[in-house]
Structure 1
Amino acid sequence: MTLKNMIELSNGLTPIETEIGYYILKNQEDILDMSVIELAEKTFVSKSAIHRFCKKIGLKGFNELKVILAKDISEMKSDIEMIDVNYPFERKDGSQMIAKKLSKLYETAIYDTYDYMDFIELHKVAQLLHKAEVIDIYTHSHNMNVAENFQDKMLTAGKSSVECPHGFYKQRLTALASNPKHAAIILSYSGKATFVKPILKVLYQKKVPVVYVGKAGGNLYPQYVAGALTISSRENLRDRISQFSSHIAMQYMMDVVFGCIYNMDREKNIEYLKESIGFMDDRDIQDE
């Protein structure tokens, strides 16, 4: 996990510690040449405050922070062609260059999301969804494609209990009809979509466990959420051509969740596939 991700995912940072993190990320190369005392002077805090910050983000001390930062900088410099995820191609780019740049953007979004993954949290979420009798996915706009893709994948394992209610009215009716045997997934890159808070509050009252999937810092109502999965957060909320990065990151995360659930009943799921494939695919295909 990159240092940036570690800072963004840290819970309970004080305002002073948040400022320390902001300064480090803004002055990464300069930090490598600083001592802990010099950093304390630059950020107007005590030496002990720097050490507490390092502990809060999961490091032993300032020296380990510099080691991780040096690795991050090296990897960034080795990536010769940096992609702007909001405007990944230019007016002058032809079809081949657009294809090349988007392939790089997808790769970056997936690697970013992988770096954010907390595998203990991922396992907990997969178990929670696996034991639910019904999974309801609440989202809107382009993320509905991701939700329905997850629904389709679950059907290939014989699980017909994934629902993707469309629209304000259907989503609220679904939430009201839920019970503790349900589990819910909220897909929202920013966490700021207007449907999120009202749905979360009702699901909490109904004792329905909720999984939030979105960017770092997007889990705005942790008191209502049983599990949270973080995806790449490079994309601007408005200043962009389209949701290239957030879409591929969301799709990747939900595919990983499906894979984890699938493997909990792997032999049974493969047997189901073998039994059903003849009915689902009636093409006359001869094995070579």
Structure 2
Amino acid sequence: MYLFQRIEEVVLQYNDTRRAIGEFVLKERSNLRRMSMDEVAKSTYTSKATLVRFAKTVGYSGWREFIVAFMDEVVYEEKSRAEIDANFPFKEKDTHQVVANSIAMLQTESISDTMNLLDMTMLDQAMSLLFNSRKITVFCISPYIYLAEVFRRKMLTIGIAIEIAKPLEASLSAQALTDQDCAILISYSGNNEILEPISHIKTLKKRGVSMIGITSVGDNYIKKNVDCILMMSSRERLYSKISNFATEESVHFLLNVLFSCYFKQHYQENIDHKIFSAKEIERQRYSTLNLMKENHQAHE
């Protein structure tokens, strides 16, 4: 998880001086390099000691160490800024054509960014875990649960039934898995161990379940506790944005890659299975339509 995102988590979790400092730091990030500790404390109506406590909250020993790391990230973001802002890809007065072009470009950039982040060793490890699993269960929350459903359906077309752990029943799903199974955990922040799906990692580890984590770039709880990690595009803020355009496209791409690699393992067999299944489905549809037609004629 990027430092920007850790600060956003602090802003969301706390309702004290840490929120005020976090909001100020994010808003004034381009000016912080020119501000002294006294100036920041005065601007946030806090003290130097409070600034130090804030720095420790996000994992640093003191304010100076925090500012150095934060400004490094600001510089990196400025240098690597994509053509489209992932958080606010369009403006209020943009035409519909500009909006459409911006979303198209953002989705393209997200896939490209995800591909650049894709570690082939990790992908090979992920596929090995999936191939050797008796059961595959996906743990995630909205909006990723909808993408997981698309992945589930694609896997079903080649005869592989996977489960999407329902949020209110995910604890039961985690308890039902064994060391012969695999869990896919999808979380952008990957950092709050008391919330789903991260809250199930301890149970999954205890039961020896193989795990694949799909999460953002940087350190977080998932990365510290899951050996196989696939990284999603991480240019979005946690909450300061219009929507999850970039991360949704990134996760969708990664799940498509997992499905495609799984498919190609038994390529011809899966092609044959899909063709046979499609013919069976179409035959059933044709029969149903004929039955409806005959019933209609019988009533005439």
Aligned position for 2:112: 111
Aligned position for 1:35: none
**CA deviation after TM superposition for structure 1 residue 274, in Å:** 1.7
Aligned position for 2:183: 184
Q: Partner amino acid for 2:96?
A: S
Query: Residues 7-35 of structure 1, C-alpha deviation per residue, up to 9 Å, x if partnerless?
Result: xxxxxxx999999886666557xxxxxxx
**CA deviation after TM superposition for structure 1 residue 219, in Å:** 4.1
Q: Partner amino acid for 1:172?
A: S
Q: Partner amino acid for 1:178?
A: L
Q: What is the percent sequence identity of the aligned residues? A: 27
Q: Distance in 1 between matches of 2:257 and 2:223?
A: 22
Aligned position for 1:152: 153
Query: Residues 113-151 of structure 1, C-alpha deviation per residue, up to 9 Å, x if partnerless?
Result: 011010111011011112111101000111001111110
Larger Rg: 2
Q: Partner amino acid for 1:155?
A: L
Q: Distance in 1 between matches of 2:75 and 2:235?
A: 18
Query: Equivalent residue of 1:159, what SS?
Result: coil
Aligned position for 1:51: none
Aligned position for 2:86: 85
Q: Distance in 1 between matches of 2:68 and 2:258?
A: 34
Q: Partner amino acid for 2:112?
A: Y
Q: Is residue 137–residue 186 contact of structure 1 (8 Å, CA) maintained in 2? A: yes
Query: Residues 175-211 of structure 1, C-alpha deviation per residue, up to 9 Å, x if partnerless?
Result: 1111111100001111135123430000001000111
**What TM-score does the superposition give when structure 2 sets the normalisation length?**
0.67
Aligned position for 1:217: 218
Q: Is residue 212–residue 219 contact of structure 1 (8 Å, CA) maintained in 2? A: no
Q: Is residue 152–residue 163 contact of structure 2 (8 Å, CA) maintained in 1? A: yes
* Alpha carbons of structure 1 residues 275 and 201: separation in structure 2 relative to 1, 3 Å: same
Paired residues, number: 221
Aligned position for 1:96: 97
2:136 aligned with 1:132: no
Q: Is residue 185–residue 211 contact of structure 2 (8 Å, CA) maintained in 1? A: yes
**What TM-score does the superposition give when structure 1 sets the normalisation length?**
0.70
- Unmatched tracts of structure 1, length 5 or more: 1-13, 29-71
* Alpha carbons of structure 1 residues 180 and 17: separation in structure 2 relative to 1, 3 Å: farther
Q: Is residue 191–residue 222 contact of structure 2 (8 Å, CA) maintained in 1? A: no
Query: Residues 38-84 of structure 1, C-alpha deviation per residue, up to 9 Å, x if partnerless?
Result: xxxxxxxxxxxxxxxxxxxxxxxxxxxxxxxxxx96xx69x7xx211
Aligned position for 1:266: 267
What is the CA RMSD across the aligned residues, in angstroms?
2.7
Query: Equivalent residue of 1:251, what SS?
Result: helix
Q: Is residue 185–residue 214 contact of structure 2 (8 Å, CA) maintained in 1? A: yes
Aligned position for 2:170: 171
- Unmatched tracts of structure 2, length 5 or more: 1-59, 287-300
Query: Residues 86-119 of structure 1, C-alpha deviation per residue, up to 9 Å, x if partnerless?
Result: 1111111122111100001001111110110101
Mean alpha-carbon deviation: is it higher for 136-145 or for 273-282?
A: 273-282
Query: Equivalent residue of 1:128, what SS?
Result: helix
* Alpha carbons of structure 1 residues 181 and 101: separation in structure 2 relative to 1, 3 Å: same
**CA deviation after TM superposition for structure 1 residue 268, in Å:** 1.1
Q: Partner amino acid for 2:109?
A: T
Q: Distance in 2 between matches of 1:174 and 1:25?
A: 38
**CA deviation after TM superposition for structure 1 residue 165, in Å:** 1.8
